[in-house]
Structure 1
């Protein structure tokens, strides 16, 4: 019998979903790992992809192929801040930083420094955002 881990920060399926071959149960994430996974899913989901939550997600896909100007960086930070504000109430964002050292390769690292409200624990999450589609996929 599957025993559910009870966590006051939440417990959810890992992404992508994985199953234990012996028990047949779904691999679950709890606490800070669940929040980290939730941020990854939130930032990589386009609004409208989820049928029951059509406003869930972040509009980062609209920024593909855009020049990386100061205005674009500010807009990108605002999109991320707003998505987290509406869809991840367990955390408070302290700072969002864009590291564009991989701009030539079409990559920006988005660093989200956040505090978990219930435990007052600080974490950061780095999300790789690619400005261009993969061209050398094999």
Structure 2
């Protein structure tokens, strides 16, 4: 697979150095992976040039959970909607999640927090080749953060 995509984070220093280097590139799969991770960790309204870019899971971060099943269904739906809207290189996308409670200790602040750890599995097919692919992300909720 050819590396025709810019690698994140974009490093402009390679363009401006004296050797006139190229910007780091990556494969289509790596580019999609990086883009979905950026999408999942961006709150709608946060992106300066597209206020709709991001994933609505941020709306759920401190939401009161009345029904765990409804919460999980909404969480998956928000991820699926964001990917379908902003990642056109994937087709037939499915999203599954696994939620667990974890204890995180902050040694500097001498505090312990219980957070929800959500493992997100995204599967689909590359639009360019019809090959199956999968991506895995780990998020911590309350407040939302990535591993």
Report the TM range for the smaller structure's normalisation.
Answer: 0.7 to 0.9
1:16 aligned residue: 9
Tell me if the contact between 1:36 and 1:125 (Cα under 8 Å) persists in the aligned partners: yes
Query: Is the counterpart of residue 52 in structure 1 residue 62 in structure 2?
Result: no
2:101 aligned residue: 103
Q: CA RMSD in A?
A: 2.3
Unaligned runs of at least 5 residues, structure 2: 103-114
Tell me if the contact between 1:81 and 1:93 (Cα under 8 Å) persists in the aligned partners: no
Q: How far does residue 120 in structure 1 lie from its aligned partner after superposition?
A: 0.8
Segments ≥4 residues shifted beyond 2 Å: 14-26, 65-68, 102-105
TM-score (normalizing by structure 2) = 0.73
1:81-113 CA distance string (max 9 Å, x none):
11011111110144211112x324420101011
SS of the residue corresponding to residue 133 of structure 1 reads coil
TM-score (normalizing by structure 1) = 0.77
Unaligned runs of at least 5 residues, structure 1: none
Which is higher, the Rg of structure 1 or of structure 2? 2
Tell me if the contact between 1:111 and 1:125 (Cα under 8 Å) persists in the aligned partners: yes
Query: Is the counterpart of residue 91 in structure 1 residue 79 in structure 2?
Result: no
Decide whether aligned partners of structure 1 residues 73 and 27 sit closer, same or farther in structure 2, where only a CA change above 3 A counts: same
Q: How far does residue 24 in structure 1 lie from its aligned partner after superposition?
A: 4.5
Aligned residues: 125
Which structure features the higher share of strand residues? 2
